[in-house]
Amino acid sequence: MSSTVEPSPPDAQEQQELRSRHYNAQIIRRVDCHDNLAIFRVRPDGDIPRFQAGQYVALGLGYWEPRVQPSQAESVPEKKLRKLVRRAYSISCPMLDDRNQLAACDDIDYLEFYITLVREAGEPGGRAPALTPRLFGLQEGDRLCMESKIVGRYVLEGIEPDDTLLLIATGTGEAPHNAMAARLLRDGHRGPILMATTGRYIGDFAYRQTHQELMRRYPNFRSLNFTTREPENVDRTHPQYVGKHYIQDLFQSGQLAELCGTELSPDSTHVFLCGNPAMIGYTPPGAPPPEQPGMLQVLKQAGFVHNDDPPTVGHIRFEKYW
């Protein structure tokens, strides 16, 4: 009688063979902002395809790669033991190069990614995160897979030199906005370029110092960071208590326009949204509206529109991370 031999995970030699077969890029720099947030600079073996600021590309690693701990326990099916897990990431931008000069994405010979380590599923019983626990185990010089196609429709289209841009994000959703702002500044955009990003803690804004330097150099660039879990957000006895900062409330109250120092009107402003679905307020066709209004609902109430027409001022564009 013949017996069936159960597949076993690849040993060290086979792992190296699999890496040689599948991996085509190298991490040339890793900057850790804190334990769960990092910037990765990745250089592909070949030429970087031409792409537009705001687009994304998939990164991948083998299921055989180790995962950082602590992270949710993972059971890898036998059929995946020798395959890759992939996920798409918007391409960020250093904005300032190693000589401290303004740098857009096409001024550098690598791609930059701004990534949060997800250690556990967002819902009880959810599938264990597969890629980031492996990605955060890599160091400078380590290799990975980067897909050859850079794609996406979340781009700078229909922008006139004097238009206002309002780039709203949560967390690492700021990544494509870094690329957009750097491209606009390099190309001499004259209108206001306004980045408004929310995060839990002030330490969650990895590009904060870079943005501050750019604000000193360019009067039309402004970056605002809002938190929700610092002491002044949650402790009512704190001398600087302000409550939790949600961008919807800041926009509706007029405080966001005041902090930006300019009118945020559909007659002059393009709006870009990237990050948490609750902040964006997107619901699939036929689904009930969100329990709490997101920026889509707030902006439409203010006269902005979202449709498939060629975008002009007053148009809302959003990138989905779900």
Q: What is the pLDDT of residues 11-63, one digit of tens each?
A: 999 999 999 999 999 999 999 999 999 999 999 999 999 999 999 999 999 99
Q: What is the pLDDT of residues 79-100, one digit of tens each?
A: 999 999 999 999 999 999 999 9
The structural architecture, per CATH, of the domain 164-320 is: 3-Layer(aba) Sandwich (3.40)
CB 193 within 8 A of CB 181: yes
Q: What residue type is 196 in one-letter code?
A: A
3-state secondary structure of 14: helix
pLDDT band, very low/low/confident/very high, at 7 (cuts 50, 70, 90): low
What average pLDDT does the structure give for the chain? 94
How big is the CA angle at 277 (ends 275 and 279), to the nearest 5 degrees? Answer: 75
Question: What is the enclosing helix (H) or strand (E) of 266?
Answer: none
Query: Smallest Cα–Cα separation from 180: which of 95, 240, 242?
Result: 95
Q: In what order do the strands lie in the sheet with 111-116?
A: 84-90, 56-62, 143-146, 25-34, 37-44, 111-116
Which part of the chain has CATH 2.40.30.10? Answer: 12-146
Give the predicted TM-score (pTM) of the model.
0.94
Residues 6+ apart with CB under 8 A from 287: none
> Position of tokens 């957009």?
180
Cis peptide before 161 (omega within 30 of 0): no
Beta strand 25-34 pairing with 37-44? antiparallel
Q: What is the pLDDT of residues 208-253, one digit of tens each?
A: 999 999 999 999 999 999 999 999 999 999 999 999 888 999 999 9
Would you tell me which CATH number, out of the four given (3.40.50.2300, 3.30.160.20, 2.40.30.10, 3.40.980.10), belongs to the domain 12-146?
A: 2.40.30.10
Which part of the chain has CATH 3.40.50.80? Answer: 164-320
209-230 burial code (b ≥16 CB/10 A, e <16): ebbeebeeeeebbbbbbbbbeb
- Rounded Cα distance between 89 and 111, Å, is 11
- pLDDT average, residue stretch 115-127: 90
